[in-house]
Amino acid sequence: MRTQVGIIGAGPAGLLLAHLLHRAGIESVILEARSRAYVEDRIRAGLLEQGTVDILTETGVGDRLHREGLPHEGIELRFDGQGHRIDLTGLTGKRVTIYGQQEVVKDLIAARLAHGGPLLFEVEDAAVHDIDTDYPSITFRHDGQAQTLHCDVIAGCDGFHGVCRDAMPESVLRVYERVYPFAWLGILASAPPASHELIYARHERGFALATMRSTTLARHYIQCRPEEDIADWSDDRIWAELHARMAGRDGHSPVKEGPILQKGITPMRSFVAEPMRHGRLFLAGDAAHIVPPTGAKGMNLAIADIIVLARALEAFYRGQGTALLDAYSATALRRVWKAQRFSWWMTSMLHRFDGGDPFEHKVQVAELDYVCGSAAGSLTLAENYVGLPMQMG
């Protein structure tokens, strides 16, 4: 097999890259280890920045997003039993949209298959070779047969546990990581959302978040210990904890109960691998970085990587040289680290750390009070939350 760009991973990053390359007349092949059903059904983040919505709309895969997505013009920060609204649109002129990552994946897969682009699911034993040369390749097994994909460039969009990052020489790769002493217990419930906008709650018992997937599906999270067993959390215990953390000073909680359809515990970490490029191998999305979900940056950061990479590849194939490809890692990492800073800040401001230090609690409340009471503080949160401008070089 021969193509111009070999893409490993059919998540939002890999699929969007293939879509943008197709529109530019550049050939690509996508290799995915999982089945199509698994990729389309796995539940992931569901908040899109304004820039993500714009790129999906401009490239023709935003119709269902605009029909079914839930635009939000603000968020609520709740602490000391009181809610404070941050007017995202009033402060920035932009908004965010609730639309599940799996829905973005479905839209991009449909677009890929509609124009006949190669997309191979259930690929086994993928490995990259000769990334230090102008003739890299990917070996893999598909339908029981060993195959080799020869290409000009390899895009590693295969996630945190994929093979691409490990293919980079240890001598050039530097990893930055922080593992947090808490996790999120998340539920999907057949119930109306607690509010028409997201509620981020800082409580002495720990953080809580009330969000949604639709007008009839609520998505809620509560801070817990990473080592906890989900079996120890009955439905009644989960609802009781959500009500306690979301309650106002009058004791009322906006959370509405319903049958819990899914629940699980997700550890929290910050992770960055530098550089995001070695030779003809380019990393994007979770293969290169992980952010704690507090700032809602994960998928949006992957999309931002892809916009930079796709434009660099388009310039390369138009005979404009390798300058943008050479700058890819530095360009992407500037945004990555800004997103890491914001996600770390939101996480540090809203979560209860080990020991429940009263001094720390007072400082966090003071920080939240400043953010909500200061025009400058509110604007800082808002412009990061809706998405910083794209950097192209």
For 216-268, how does the pLDDT look when each residue is reduced to its tens digit (9 = 90+)? 999 999 999 999 999 999 999 999 999 999 999 999 999 999 999 999 999 99
pLDDT over 80 (residue 165):
yes
pLDDT over 70 (residue 289):
yes
> Mean pLDDT, the chain, as a whole number?
95
Tell me what pLDDT residue 391 has. Answer: 66
Distance CA 181, CA 285 (A): 24
Reported as type and span, the H/E element at residue 145 is strand 145-150
**Which domain CATH number covers 368?**
3.30.9.10
Span 8-21, pLDDT tens digits: 999 999 999 999 99
pLDDT over 90 (residue 355):
no
| pLDDT band for position 7 (cuts 50, 70, 90) | very high
114 and 24 both lie in a single domain: yes
Residue 127 lies in a domain: yes
Q: What is the pTM of this model?
A: 0.95
| pLDDT band for position 114 (cuts 50, 70, 90) | very high
In this structure, is the dihedral angle defined by the CA atoms of residues 202, 208, 213 and 216, taken in order, positive or negative?
negative
Tell me what pLDDT residue 6 has. Answer: 98
216 and 235 both lie in a single domain: yes
Residue whose entry in the numeric block shows the structure tokens 């217990």: 185
**Structural domain of residue 365, as residue ranges?**
180-268+354-385
Distance CA 17, CA 15 (A): 5
343 and 309 both lie in a single domain: yes
Coil/strand/helix, residue 156: strand
35-44, 139-148, 349-358, 384-393 — which is least confidently predicted? 384-393
pLDDT over 90 (residue 392):
no
**Which residues participate in catalysis according to the annotation?**
72, 200, 293, 297, 385
Residue 197 lies in a domain: yes
Tell me what pLDDT residue 354 has. Answer: 77
pLDDT over 90 (residue 358):
no
Residue 149 lies in a domain: yes
184 and 250 both lie in a single domain: yes
Distance CA 67, CA 10 (A): 24
**Tokens at 100, concatenated:** 């599940």
Distance CA 176, CA 186 (A): 26
Span 207-222, pLDDT tens digits: 999 999 999 999 999 9
117 and 253 both lie in a single domain: no
Span 41-82, pLDDT tens digits: 887 778 999 999 999 999 999 999 999 999 999 999 999 999
Number of domains in the chain: 2
Cα→Cα distances 384→29, 292, 342, Å? 34, 15, 7
Residue 64 lies in a domain: no
296 and 336 both lie in a single domain: yes
Distance CA 302, CA 332 (A): 10
Tell me what pLDDT residue 230 has. Answer: 96
Residues 6+ positions from 114 with CB-CB distance below 8 Å: none
Residue 92 lies in a domain: no
Chain centre distance of CA 365: 27
Coil/strand/helix, residue 178: strand
155 and 204 both lie in a single domain: no
169 and 23 both lie in a single domain: yes
242 and 111 both lie in a single domain: no
